[in-house]
Each structure stands twice: as C-alpha cells, then as structure tokens.
C-alpha cells in the first residue's frame, strides 16, 4: 500500500468540491453558491492514519470531453499517472445529472470513489437514496458525506486508502429497450456501462487495432469509446484510420445510452424523486419575475451600496478617532525621543498618513464584501445572469458575462479570472476589457474622500453615481465593440440555477476575512512602500534634499503630465503624481494625496478641511473633484489586475492595448464631463 | 413546437435539440436528449427561459430555447 496518495476531487460545478477540500485540508478557499467559482486547480495535503493524502481540487465540469478549457485541463490532469484515486464528488440532490460524469470517470479505468455530497439536503427534502443498490449498479464504492456538516469525511478517506487498486465485482444486466443483450463477451462483469451490440462490436474492433498499434496501452476501452465519439484530441494522438469502423461520430448514441442507464439507476435507487423544492420556486417567482426581476436586482444593488456608504461611514468615524490618536501618540513619542526631523516627517507625514489614511476605509470595504458574500452564497448570482440576459444580449454578450462584471464591484482580479466560464474567446476578451470599468472596492476610498469634501449632504449620491457611470461605460463599450465587429453570432445563456440556501456563517466569515486580510496586507505592503516612495521623491530633488517641495523629483514628474491633464480639470502636478501612484493600487491615490499636499492626517475631519482649503486655493472645485472621481473610476486598473489580464489573455500586445484603451477612455470621459460642466456653470 | 413557445408550468418532452457546437455538447452532457421530460418554470418577454430537467434547474437564452424542439407530454 502506498504511503503517499494523490487524490483528485472532480465533479459537476457547484457540487461542493471546494467545501470538501476545505474540510479536509483546513484551507480557506473561496466557496459560493453558483457554478464556476473555482477556476484553477488547488492543491493541499493532510495526514490521516499512516497515509499522506495529497488532495487536488479541480474546476467543476459536466463531462470529460475536450471542448472547453476546464474540461480539457481537468481531463488531462486526472489522466496523468500521478493521480492514484479519483474522488467523484456528486451533489446527491441532483444525482441524475451528476451520474453522467461518474459513468465517464469509471470508464477512465482508474480507481474511482463516488462521494455523495449534500446528503443533509437530500434528507431535508424527503428523498431517499438506496445506498446498497447504487454501488452495486456502478461497481464502485459510494460514500455519503456532507462537506458542510463535516460528516462522512473519515470514512471517505478510509475508502480512498483501500480502493487505490481498482477491482470489480459487480454483476449487472443492462436492458437496451427491453432487448436482452447477446453480446459475446461478459462485459457486465467488468464495466458499469455496456453499450448496444452495434457499439460494443465496434469497441472490440477498435481495441484490437489499438493493441496492434501499442501492445502496452492501458485501458484501451476508454480510448476506443473516445475514438467512437471522434474526440479530436484522442484521434490526433493515435493517427490511425478508423473510418471503416467509425464512419460517423457515435457521440450522441453513447450519451443517450449512458443516460438510459442513468434512468435505470435512478428508478432503482431514488425514492421520493418528486422532491419538495417549493422554497426555491417561491423565491424565484419574485426574483426572476418577468417584470419585477430587474427592478428587484437594481434595488438590491442600490441597497448594497447605500449600506456600504452609510453604515460604513458611521463606523469609519470611530476608526478616524483611533488613527488620529495613534498619529498624535507617535508624534509625541518621537519628539520626546528627540528624533531627527526627517525621521519624524517620514513616519508621521509619510507612513502613518499614507497607511493610516487607508485603514480608516476598512469599515466601508467590510460592509461591501459582507453584502457581496451574501449575494454569492445565497444562490442569487445565477439568477442575475438570467435577469440581465436581455440587456446583455443587446450588447452582444450572454447574461453569463454579467457575473464577472458583478464580481468586479468587489475586486477586478477574481472578476477577470471568472471570465473563464465564458465559452466564446471573443466574448471573453470583450468581458475582460470592460470588467475593470466596474468600480472595485479599491476605488471606494477615493470617492468617499472627495465626495465627503465637496458634496456635503449629497456625498452618498455622488459616490453611488460612480458605480452607475462605470456600469454604463462598460455596457456602452461592449456595445460599440459588438457593432464594430459586425458579427451576427448569437451568444446564448446557459447556466444552472442552484437551490437557494441560507448563507452559511462559516463561508461568509472566510469570504469577508479573506478580503479584509487582502486589504490589510495591501495597506502594510503596497501602500506602505508607495507612501515611503512618494515621501522620498517629494523630499529629494536633483540637488539632494529639498526644502521647497516644488523642486523635488516628484514635482518634476507631475508637472510633466500637467498639460495632458488640464482639459480634464486635473491640471495640478500633485494630482498627476497621485494618479501615477494609483497604478500600484487605487487606494494609493488617497494616501498619496495626503502626503503630496502635506496633510498630516487625511482621515480626520481636520485633515479633510485642511485639504479642502488647499485644493480650493488652487481653484479645485466640486466640478474638478467629480472629474477626478470619474478619472479614477475609469483609468488603467492596478498592476495586480493588469498582471491577471495578461495571464488570462496570454498576449502582451493585447494587454498593452487594454491599458492604453482604458487610460484613453478615462481621459475622454472626464474631459467631456469637465468641459460640459464648465460651459453650464 | 420549440421550447421558446412553451408555457410556464407545462411539462414537455424533448423531440430534438438542434443546438450545435460546444453549447450543444453541454446540453447533451446535461441530459437534454431525445425523450427527456422538461418542465418550464419561468420565462421572460425577451425569451430567456428557466426550466427543470432531470432534477436540475437551468436557464437558457432565447437562441437556445428556439432550437430545442419539444412536444406535449402525451404525444
């Protein structure tokens, strides 16, 4: 028995693979209630008894063909020799659909164990599964588990350890439309699915030829089936002419016969098939209503942002008091220690002003992600794709493309990665290009700061309007691109709608904590370093340390860009420099502004009124502030997003285009706004 | 008739799925094949439709719905 076992988790999308993976490894990978959350394979390990289990969590797939990216990658991975045991995770409450992949996995010829997940939900719904007959019919071990309630976990790994060597002892008879198969071989002893005589004869013939070609071929039956399906990858691999045996693709026949067998299984093992899913139906009656659906969705989003700004701002008040206290304390301490003036300036004006200024926005970020976590974990995301399908169809995308865009309200990086679920590469490119226009949480501090200073009682509306502008620009650009491409292709929606469930506290905590941690890490790393750099280039010039900030390197760089920014109403060198620093992370715009304008504590009310005074003296008014917010909303996203875009598009040229394009859009829109506002006022 | 013309809360039987390419394959994998029973749960003016088949609830756009040929349960 091997001491170290490589175990791959595979299954349909949204069946709970990642929840199970987390339960074993203690990892805190993101889970949510919509299909396609996991886009990359994740590895983890844990020890159980004397074995070291190396687990791999794969993206969800519906079948083992090689037509989509996820299917190709997952199939390649489990076909690899390093995988010892495949754990097929199935959502027991949708057994019929899940078994299709199970049958394909069994045909692969590797040890497979079926983990029947969500058994708690099955019970809740009054369904029952015959756990004796199911393994008999499939010929593989079946272990009921609940990843959420952490039941059945030990027994599943126990089964993995003991079934690493495949053995079969099933005894099955298939009924092909009532005809008893008279095929000459006793396949029923070996294979879960036995096809009609016509197909089995062909499989035998193909296997003979494959053996002639390669006598050491492992599991030729699987290859034979794939050749019958005319799978492009497998056909390429062998380069043998089978046109006499396989005059056409038998894919449909094979799928139909698999589903015939699945119907036999369901008939025998599932009791109370007509489950009571009334709750989901009732909720869907309103949320996917043909008239009310869209207004309800817009209402929910408005509520999300309203809570983010109101409750967030209320909590932010307490944070500001705390940060001011720390800043004052550190200043007093450093002065008491008679520290060098330069050091005091670096710590207080550079680091605390930069990092502290950002930390005060934590409550806003917290509320936003809490709300998004609820949306994702409830099952509503798939419904949004359905609701938005009409509007998205008009701009040449399917409703599915709206999911990445919605995720973009949180962070552009996972949003760009979520576009993998889109089948068409052209759709994907378009979605990746417009997703960064959806206002991510990093831009929120900029809106809060500027709207607080310039818009008084209308601050919430001014900030909220950024989200609307971002969405409108994204849709407009997708629309123009579609018109330019002049393709009349249809981009149809196809998405599974999971059952609604009460959001799980543990899942929400993981989700929100993960984001908060990211934010804090960013404050401690990117923003910390950016604040120091900004402080240095403001205090150092061509002739060494400068006393007049306008002679510094920073001022030089900023002034160089001023002419370009004048039409947008942002013709101040400090603003120019702040915008450049925002490429590191958009929050840095806020921390830089504090440092650039020499405002000790930008987070406090005093700091803000001081900043307002400085800006007003420079003729920077509410119109300029709004133009600034628009520019920050639309211009090139942070380096992390750029890196993700490059990784997903696999093209430097395309990435450079995206960057230039986004800066151009930002410049154009804010110039347009500023110039029109100037004329009107 | 096509699924596009289906009425809410009515059950139908799939006659043929004429969707091609990857989406067609995905539909097959989901078990939307000849003789599968499907029940329309909800639909919108623009043609997007929610239905249930084999215990799974799916939403499809108008273009797909128009290419799924169905007949009434009894036929």
Q: What pLDDT, on the 0 to 100 scale, is given for residue A327?
A: 84
Burial class of A182 by CB neighbour count within 10 A (0 to 12, 13 to 18, 19+): exposed
A214-257 confidence digits (pLDDT tens): 888 888 999 999 999 998 888 888 888 898 999 999 999 999 99
Residues B12, B39: Cα–Cα separation, whole Å = 6
Contacts of A289 in chain B (CB under 8 A): 42
| A318 vs A349 pLDDT, higher one | A318
Task: Report chain B's terminal Cα–Cα distance, integer Å.
Answer: 12
B21-67 confidence digits (pLDDT tens): 888 888 999 999 999 999 999 998 878 999 999 989 999 999 899 99
Residues A40, A77: Cα–Cα separation, whole Å = 12
A607 Cβ contact partners less than 8 Å away, ≥ 6 residues apart: A594, A599, A600, A601
Interface test with B, best of A34, A284, A494 (most B CBs within 10 A): A494
Contacts of B17 in chain A (CB under 8 A): none
Contacts of A394 in chain B (CB under 8 A): none
Count of residues for chain B? Answer: 75
* Secondary structure (DSSP) of B2-71: BGGGPPTT-EEEEEEE---HHHHHHHHHTT--TT-EEEEEEE-TTS-EEEEETTEEEEE-HHHHTTEEEE
A175: confidence class by pLDDT, cuts 50, 70, 90? low
- Pairwise CB contact (< 8 Å): B59 & A423: no
- Residues from B contacting A (CB-CB < 8 Å) are 22-23, 25-31, 33-34, 36, 41-46, 48, 50, 54-64
What global pTM score does this model have? Answer: 0.87
Contacts of A290 in chain B (CB under 8 A): 42-45
Q: What pLDDT, on the 0 to 100 scale, is given for residue A22?
A: 92
Interface test with A, best of B28, B32, B33 (most A CBs within 10 A): B28
Q: Is the pLDDT of residue A170 over 50?
A: no
Interface test with B, best of A74, A490, A498, A499 (most B CBs within 10 A): A490
- Pairwise CB contact (< 8 Å): A423 & B56: no
Size of interface A-B (CB pairs under 8 A): 120
Q: Which domains does chain B have, with CATH numbers?
A: 3-72 (2.30.30.90)
Q: What pLDDT, on the 0 to 100 scale, is given for residue A171?
A: 44
Residues A60, A74: Cα–Cα separation, whole Å = 8
The torsion region of residue A152 among left (phi > 0), alpha (psi -120 to 50) and beta comes to: left
Is residue B31 within 8 Å of residue A99, measured between CB atoms?
no
- Pairwise CB contact (< 8 Å): A252 & B28: yes
A267: confidence class by pLDDT, cuts 50, 70, 90? very high
A555 Cβ contact partners less than 8 Å away, ≥ 6 residues apart: A538, A549, A573, A577
Residues A143, A116: Cα–Cα separation, whole Å = 6
| A566 vs A279 pLDDT, higher one | A566
Q: What pLDDT, on the 0 to 100 scale, is given for residue A80?
A: 83
A536: confidence class by pLDDT, cuts 50, 70, 90? confident
A113-134 mean pLDDT: 91
Count of residues for chain A? Answer: 681
- Cite the residue boundaries of each domain of chain A with CATH code 3.40.50.300: 4-162
| A58 vs A168 pLDDT, higher one | A58
Q: Which residues pair with A540 in a beta bridge?
A: A545
A623-665 confidence digits (pLDDT tens): 999 999 999 999 998 899 999 999 988 899 999 999 999 999 9
Task: Select from A252, A285, A492 the Cβ nearest to the Cβ of B64.
Answer: A492
Q: What pLDDT, on the 0 to 100 scale, is given for residue A489?
A: 63
Share of chain A above pLDDT 90, in %: 54
Q: What pLDDT, on the 0 to 100 scale, is given for residue A385?
A: 94
A168: confidence class by pLDDT, cuts 50, 70, 90? very low
Q: What pLDDT, on the 0 to 100 scale, is given for residue A487?
A: 67
A681: confidence class by pLDDT, cuts 50, 70, 90? confident
Residues A284, B51: Cα–Cα separation, whole Å = 12
A4-162 placed in CATH 3.30.230.10: no
Q: Is the pLDDT of residue A526 over 60?
A: yes
A181-271 placed in CATH 3.40.50.2300: no
To the nearest whole angstrom, how far is the Cα of A497 from the nearest Cα of chain B? 5
Q: What pLDDT, on the 0 to 100 scale, is given for residue A184?
A: 47
A319-343 mean pLDDT: 87
Q: Is the pLDDT of residue A172 over 60?
A: no
To the nearest whole angstrom, how far is the Cα of A454 from the nearest Cα of chain B? 43
To the nearest whole angstrom, how far is the Cα of B38 from the nearest Cα of chain A? 13
Q: Is the pLDDT of residue A274 over 70?
A: no
Strand blocks (E) in A181-239: none
Residues A151, A480: Cα–Cα separation, whole Å = 52
Q: CA A277, A32, A362, A591 torsion: positive or negative?
A: negative
Taking CA–CA distances from B24, the nearest residue in chain A reads A494
Closest CA to A431 of A376, A491, A511: A491
Closest CA to A59 of A49, A67, A69: A69
- Pairwise CB contact (< 8 Å): B61 & A94: no
- Other C-beta atoms within 10 Å of A660: how many? 11
Is residue A570 within 8 Å of residue A576, measured between CB atoms?
yes
A340: confidence class by pLDDT, cuts 50, 70, 90? confident
Share of chain A above pLDDT 70, in %: 94
Interface test with A, best of B21, B31, B45 (most A CBs within 10 A): B31
To the nearest whole angstrom, how far is the Cα of B59 from the nearest Cα of chain A? 5
- Cite the residue boundaries of each domain of chain A with CATH code 1.10.287.1770: 181-271
A307-318 confidence digits (pLDDT tens): 998 888 888 888
- Pairwise CB contact (< 8 Å): A96 & B31: yes
* Secondary structure (DSSP) of A51-63: EEEEEEE----S-
Q: Is the pLDDT of residue A67 over 80?
A: no
Q: What pLDDT, on the 0 to 100 scale, is given for residue A281?
A: 85
- Pairwise CB contact (< 8 Å): A290 & B45: yes
A614 Cβ contact partners less than 8 Å away, ≥ 6 residues apart: A597, A599
Task: Select from B33, B42, B56 the Cβ nearest to the Cβ of A97.
Answer: B56
Task: Select from B33, B44, B59 the Cβ nearest to the Cβ of A385.
Answer: B59
- Pairwise CB contact (< 8 Å): A389 & B44: yes
- Pairwise CB contact (< 8 Å): A492 & B25: no
Is residue B52 within 8 Å of residue B8, measured between CB atoms?
no
Task: Report chain A's terminal Cα–Cα distance, integer Å.
Answer: 81
Q: CA A559, A638, A663, A366 torsion: positive or negative?
A: negative
| B17 vs A342 pLDDT, higher one | B17
Interface test with B, best of A36, A232, A269, A493 (most B CBs within 10 A): A493
Residues A619, A612: Cα–Cα separation, whole Å = 10
Burial class of B35 by CB neighbour count within 10 A (0 to 12, 13 to 18, 19+): exposed
A169: confidence class by pLDDT, cuts 50, 70, 90? very low
Lowest mean pLDDT across A127-141, A380-394, A430-444, A488-502: A488-502
Q: Is the pLDDT of residue A107 over 50?
A: yes
Q: What pLDDT, on the 0 to 100 scale, is given for residue A313?
A: 83
Contacts of A491 in chain B (CB under 8 A): 61, 63
């Amino acid at each position: 028995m091997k001491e170290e076992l490589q175990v791959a988790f595979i299954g349909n999308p949204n069946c709970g693979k990642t929840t199970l993976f987390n339960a074993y490894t203690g990892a805190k990978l993101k889970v949510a209630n919509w299909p396609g959350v996991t886009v990359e394979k994740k590895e983890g390990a844990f020890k159980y008894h004397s074995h070291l289990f190396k687990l791999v969590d794969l993206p969800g797939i519906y079948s083992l063909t090689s037509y989509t990216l996820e299917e190709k990658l997952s199939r390649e991975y489990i076909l690899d020799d390093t995988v010892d045991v495949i754990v097929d995770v199935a959502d027991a409450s949708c057994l019929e659909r899940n078994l299709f992949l199970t049958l394909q996995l069994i045909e692969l010829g590797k040890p497979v164990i079926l983990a029947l997940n969500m058994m708690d939900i099955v019970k809740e719904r009054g369904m029952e599964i015959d756990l004796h007959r199911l393994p008999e019919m499939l010929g593989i071990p079946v272990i009921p588990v609940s990843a959420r309630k952490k039941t059945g976990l030990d027994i599943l790994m126990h089964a993995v350890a003991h079934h690493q060597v495949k053995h079969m002892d099933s005894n099955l008879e298939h009924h092909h439309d009532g005809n008893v198969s008279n095929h000459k071989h006793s396949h029923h002893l070996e294979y879960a699915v036995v096809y009609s005589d016509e197909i089995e004869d062909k499989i035998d013939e193909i296997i003979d030829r494959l053996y002639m070609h390669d006598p050491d071929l492992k599991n030729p039956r699987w290859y034979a089936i794939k050749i019958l399906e005319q799978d492009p990858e497998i056909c390429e691999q062998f380069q043998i002419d089978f046109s006499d045996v396989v005059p056409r693709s038998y894919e449909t026949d094979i799928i139909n016969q698999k589903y015939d067998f699945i119907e036999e299984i369901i008939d025998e093992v599932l009791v109370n098939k007509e489950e009571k899913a009334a709750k989901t139906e009732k909720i869907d009656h309103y949320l996917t209503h043909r008239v009310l659906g869209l207004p309800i969705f817009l209402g929910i989003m408005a509520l999300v942002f309203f809570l983010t700004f109101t409750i967030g701002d209320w909590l932010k008040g307490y944070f500001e008091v705390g940060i001011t206290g720390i800043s004052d304390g550190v200043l007093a301490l450093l002065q008491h220690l008679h520290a060098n003036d330069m050091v005091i300036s670096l710590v207080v004006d550079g680091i605390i002003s930069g990092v502290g200024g950002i930390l005060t926005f934590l409550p806003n970020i917290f509320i936003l992600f809490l709300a998004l976590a609820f949306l994702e974990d409830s099952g509503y995301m798939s419904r949004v794709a359905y609701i938005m399908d009409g509007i998205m169809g008009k701009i040449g995308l399917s409703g599915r493309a709206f999911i990445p865009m919605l995720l973009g309200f949180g962070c552009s990086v996972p949003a760009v990665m979520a576009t993998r679920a889109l089948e068409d590469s052209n759709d994907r490119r378009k979605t990746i290009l417009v997703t960064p226009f959806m206002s991510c949480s990093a831009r929120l501090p900029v809106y809060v700061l500027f709207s607080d200073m310039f818009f008084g009682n209308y601050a919430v509306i001014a900030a909220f309007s950024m989200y609307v502008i971002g969405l409108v620009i994204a849709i407009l650009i997708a629309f123009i691109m579609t018109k330019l491409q002049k393709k009349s292709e249809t981009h149809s929606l196809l998405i599974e709608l999971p059952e609604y469930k009460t959001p799980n506290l543990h899942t929400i905590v993981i989700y929100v904590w993960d984001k908060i941690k990211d934010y804090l890490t960013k404050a401690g790393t990117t923003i910390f370093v950016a604040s120091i750099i900004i402080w240095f280039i403001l205090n150092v010039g061509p002739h060494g340390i400068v006393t007049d900030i306008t002679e510094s390197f920073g001022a030089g760089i900023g002034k160089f860009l001023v002419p370009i920014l004048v039409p947008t109403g942002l013709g101040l060198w400090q603003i120019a420099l702040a915008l450049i620093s925002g490429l590191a992370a958009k929050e840095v715009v806020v921390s830089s502004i504090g440092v650039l304008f020499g405002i000790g504590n930008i987070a406090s009310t005093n700091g803000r009124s001081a900043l307002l005074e400085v800006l007003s003296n420079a003729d920077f008014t509410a119109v300029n502030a709004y133009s600034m917010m628009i520019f920050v909303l639309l211009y090139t996203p942070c380096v992390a997003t750029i890196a993700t875009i490059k990784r997903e598009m696999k093209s430097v040229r395309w990435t450079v285009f995206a960057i230039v394009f986004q800066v151009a859009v930002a410049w154009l829109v804010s110039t347009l706004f500023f110039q029109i506002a100037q004329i009107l006022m | 008739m096509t699924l596009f013309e289906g009425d809410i809360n009515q059950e139908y039987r799939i006659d043929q799925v004429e969707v091609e390419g990857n989406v067609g394959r995905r539909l097959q994998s989901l078990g939307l094949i000849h003789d599968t029973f499907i029940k329309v749960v909800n639909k919108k003016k623009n043609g997007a439709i929610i239905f249930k088949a084999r215990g799974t609830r799916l939403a499809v756009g108008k273009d797909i719905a128009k290419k799924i040929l169905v007949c009434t349960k009894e036929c």
